[in-house]
Amino acid sequence: MPDIPKTAKAVVFDECNGPIRVDNEHKVVQPSELKAGEVLVKLEYTGVCHTDLHAWKGDWPVPPKCPLVGGHEGAGRIVAMGDGTDTQLKIGSPVGLKWLADSCLNCEACLGGQEATCANAKLSGYTVDGSFQQYAVSYAKHVTPIPEGLAMEIAAPILCAGVTVWKAIKQSNTKPGDFVVISGAGGGLGHLAVQYATAIGLRVVGIDTGDDKRKLLASYGADDFIDFKQHTGKGKLIEEVKRVCGGEGPHAAIITSAGGAAYNEALEYLRPHGTLVAVGLPPNTTINADVFFTVFKALRIVGSYVGNRQDAIEALDFAARQKVKPMLEIQNLDKLPEVYERMEKGGIAGRIVLKC
Ligand code: 8ID
Ligand code: ZN
């Protein structure tokens, strides 16, 4: 059994919008304190998702627990397990922590493979402490096995961003050759959505802003890029999206933007029978659907919330086969506050991953 220190580093905040502090002497849960089903994971890398920023800002209707160690894209190895834990995983197994830390596995949602909507779901970095630390407690039934040979820093962003967009694509009602718009395409979720969509043969139009993001998405084989800041007049973005999608608009639009404006015109640029997949979670935002056109164009609006255990395995498999490769900038765990500042400005192309 590996040596487990009594304390280690964690990044903590005590209240939403309050100071974010690096605690170098954060208590590490000891193996003897773990309950059956719990695992202690020594984290190597963690991605920073915009959800973590929403959590710190208290953006959503139900605030996170406080004090909180955020983070839910953690990659590391199991170093201890509670007595009586029933699992195939072993000490040393590489595993990932996801947003969904635990669920009951017995309710209608869980039995139907919709674990995220389990009434007893535990959420990493929201209702339980997450991955912005060196040692985290998680749950054997929900940690995701990371394929041997896949680098931990590559696995990390797949564990939320990758899983979520892979699931969203599966819910988009598209087939190879169809047009899909990814709005927020240059961000953490979006740049992976472009890659998964391209990998399965969709024609991808990215919407975001700036030349860095334009170049990044072109390197993944996106068919078009629309800079939303260059199409600001009334109806201009709708016109441009329709134009690049064969004149009729896309078969689906997956909104991964962290800003509400991306939702505004999506229903208007979709082609008949098109699907709007809502993924981004801007605060206080509503989707305005004109009833007449929703009916006459037979549109679908679908909310897509992370993915289940199998979606996570599939999402990592794309990365292991190098069909999908996150664009990473690696920083130290201590840099979380600076990362949030840059994220708030929309200035990150791809994902920032922190070394734990
Ligand atoms: O399960 C889920 N549904 C789920 C899972 C994980 C994350 C939802 N999310 C949510 C996050 O909480 C957040 O609201 O998805 C959103 C995006 O997360 P992210 O990809 O981690 O954020 P980012 O890296 O900051 O990227 C956001 C991108 O949106 C662009 C920005 O330029 C940035 O590249 N963007 C914005 I802000 N406004 C835009 C607009 N009007 C826009 N792109 C197009 N049009
Ligand atoms: Zn996330």
Domains of the chain: 7-160+307-355 (3.90.180.10), 172-303 (3.40.50.720)
What is the band of 202 on the pLDDT scale with cuts at 50, 70, 90?
very high
State both tokens at 314.
């599939």
Summarised one tens digit per residue, pLDDT across range 41-98 is: 999 999 999 999 999 999 999 999 999 999 999 999 999 999 999 999 999 999 999 9
- Does residue 67 have a cis bond before it (omega within 30 degrees)? yes
pTM (2 decimals)?
Answer: 0.98
- CA–centroid distance, 57 to ligand 1, in Å, is 15
Structure tokens at 88: 């195939």
Q: How far is the CA of 76 from the centre of ligand 1 (A)?
A: 25
How would residue 140 be classed by pLDDT, with cut points 50, 70 and 90? very high
Question: How many Å apart are CA 211 and CA 65, to the nearest integer?
Answer: 38
Centre of ligand 2 from the C-alpha of residue 129, in Å: 14
Mean pLDDT over residues 204-213, rounded? 97
Residue 1 reports pLDDT greater than 80: no
- Find the ligand nearest to 279 CA: 1
pLDDT exceeding 90 applies to what percent of the chain? 99
Ligand 1-lining residues (CB < 6 angstroms): 49-51, 54, 160-161, 164, 183-184, 186-190, 207-209, 228, 256-259, 261-262, 279-282, 304-306, 343, 346, 348
Residue entry with tokens 């240059």: 186
The closest residue, in CA terms, to atom 38 on ligand 1 is 259
φ, ψ for residue 110, nearest 5 deg:
-65, -45
Quote the ligand 1 centre to 50 CA distance (angstroms): 7
Q: Which of 287, 297, 321, 302 is nearest to 147 (CA)?
A: 321
**pLDDT of 101:** 98
